Chain A
């Protein structure tokens, strides 16, 4: 079963707007990671937030983690057309495997 589930499955916004993607997971975690995948390319690690952290920033990215609700959100501020990609959250399960959700497909229109 999926360890992480993203919501929404698809998101379409205008350039300059903010994009928010959510992720829910099922078991206790050591950390939660967000990855980006451009069409036809490999995944690129964006940010890692540890279980004892509540918020983390990296450039235009802001990630929050609520372990009580087993959820995380990824906010991309002032989006650009180049942000168009699929975004995945991932957590390690108890067997030590990194399990990815199905992803959110973000489309930023110029």
Chain B
């Protein structure tokens, strides 16, 4: 099993640009989570999907952030326009069954907004 796949692994962009992060969950998993990790705030849940439907997006910081899951094997997290304070590592995770099970994390995307 390839595990959770994220792309790109690193992204450097300039303030104001649109950023799109991509995630492919483990095949068969039906819950998908987007997290952001920073030194100051630790690991924060941004949004999670169950069966491709957004369940809770209360962690999404602002309207500049949006996430989609058009099918069971793909999700995107978009930031438009990006700001320097968005610089962080963004992780995607998925779970097999009930969302209270263990989560399998991707390698993360390190985003730097200049």
Contacts and interface: CB of A to CB of B under 8 A. Distances in A.
Contacts, number: 47
A88 interface: yes
B42 A103 contact: yes
A42 B107 contact: yes
A45 interface: yes
A42 B9 CA distance: 11
B49 interface: no
A43 B105 contact: yes
Given A96-B56, A97-B48, A102-B42, A45 B102 contact: yes
Contacts of A95: 56, 58
A2 B43 CA distance: 10
What bracket does the count of chain B residues touching chain A fall in?
A: 20 to 34
B33 to A, nearest CB: 7
A41 B100 contact: no
B25 interface: no
A82 interface: no
